[in-house]
Structure 1
């Protein structure tokens, strides 16, 4: 059973500080002290007054970076066996966590449970009153891999699978209150699976404008979401889902 889910923002070392400032600002969080052998990790901590648990971490990396999921489980070895039986590949087996790759190439980690205590943080109110919250990781899956990759994540998480309003989208949602859900997007091309984060917003135009003032760039506007890039040119979306929904 997955006890907690973390959205991990992997950002290039040369832009990491800018990204940490950007994401802490737009989420109303405080960056933790850096940790790791080279100080490459940090957690975005909610206001202590909220008595809420964090759900977003960041990692300084070489290369372009991206997004991956950390799944907290009670028994990492058993979870690794399950993932391998479902078609995952083991990338690295550390003493206290495992790094794997999904059947079509998305990196994720199985990590020890018990690190997060409390409820997911509520939506953050921007200076203009607009509410927003990082609430899902979208897996961008090539058309030829979509059925297999969807089955993999559905069986790995055991979460409820629901079809989206558009045929190219489906959602995996846990019964428990977790900070991050998973959106599955079928692309119109074949390529390895990648991921990006989505923020829900009470006003997508207002949120996008505020993010632009902090260093983001609008890439594309759709009816119900806006595609942007952050200060490291990493793609993310602001969507019209209810930011108060968990």
Structure 2
């Protein structure tokens, strides 16, 4: 049961939720929905066009993280299938439309039945470039890389493709209309829990970096194909040299 939509959830510690929400709303220029949940712990970043694919959550405990919502027609059946692929069920709220899971490496995901189907367009900025937060990079310790990569391939049904940038990366080919790409990174550390970070695609990385810094981000490292930043709360994310329309890197120049 392949997901028909994927939502990236930015989960914030209780103390950082308000500041984190303000930063990411300003950075995306997306409006914030009314808060929902028993104690107002959820909100949506509402794009100008298309359906929402970025949401936020205030955690009761724990540090900032990302989790994924996989939108499917039948969350209960999807959860049962995921268990067969090696996932662990955490909580069954199927009567309310969702089931909470963990991947074999410990990364949290949910199956939900919320409808969505129109991918938002990249944002065109006054200076002439465009960008979109369109990719979740799943960061996997080396010892569990092969099994975790196989899990996500089989769970989504998306084709796996090796990276042309680095042997430490592979990607799952995003079907037409999906808002979120999935990149899989093999970390240098041997063990630990699988985690994730968000990646932006842009037509002009220096200009996009300047825009993020102006909103309050801090540059941590500049690499050949991407720049690592942190938000004001220390959450790491990247700006990458990828086409925000297609999500793929530009082809290298030929002689």
The answer on 1:158 being equivalent to 2:157 is yes
Give 1:175 deviation, angstroms: 2.3
Provide, for residues 41-70 of structure 1, a one-character-per-residue CA deviation record: whole Å limited to 9, x for no partner: 1111112xx3x1111101111332211110
Structure 2 partner of 1:129: 128
**CA 1:112 to 1:39, structure 2 compared with 1: closer, same or farther past 3 Å?**
same
Structure 1 partner of 2:218: 217
The answer on 1:70 being equivalent to 2:73 is no
Distance 1:224 1:175 in 2: 24
The answer on 1:182 being equivalent to 2:182 is yes
Structure 2 partner of 1:21: 22
Distance 2:171 2:235 in 1: 22
The answer on 1:194 being equivalent to 2:195 is yes
TM-score under structure 2 length normalisation? 0.91
Distance 2:114 2:42 in 1: 18
Is contact 2:3-2:72 (8 Å) kept?
yes
Structure 2 partner of 1:45: 46
Provide, for residues 115-147 of structure 1, a one-character-per-residue CA deviation record: whole Å limited to 9, x for no partner: x24x21111123433211011100000111000
Structure 1 partner of 2:12: 11
Q: Which shows bigger deviation, 207-216 or 151-160?
A: 207-216
Provide, for residues 85-117 of structure 1, a one-character-per-residue CA deviation record: whole Å limited to 9, x for no partner: 000011111132111111111011011142x24
Partner of residue 57 from structure 1, selected from 55, 58, 81: 55
Q: How many residues align?
A: 241
Distance 2:132 2:78 in 1: 29
SS at match of 2:4: strand
Is contact 1:11-1:232 (8 Å) kept?
no
Distance 2:204 2:66 in 1: 24
Provide, for residues 152-174 of structure 1, a one-character-per-residue CA deviation record: whole Å limited to 9, x for no partner: 00000000111001111111123
Structure 1 partner of 2:81: 82
Structure 2 partner of 1:243: 244
Q: Which shows bigger deviation, 79-88 or 89-98?
A: 89-98
Instruction: Give the strand-richer structure, 1 or 2.
Output: 1
Distance 2:47 2:150 in 1: 33
Q: Structure 2: which 5+ residue stretches go unaligned?
A: 248-255
TM-score under structure 1 length normalisation? 0.94
Structure 2 partner of 1:149: 148
Distance 1:24 1:124 in 2: 13
Is contact 2:12-2:65 (8 Å) kept?
yes
Q: Which shows bigger deviation, 61-70 or 83-92?
A: 61-70
Give 1:24 deviation, angstroms: 1.6
Q: Structure 1: which 5+ residue stretches go unaligned?
A: none
Structure 1 partner of 2:98: 97
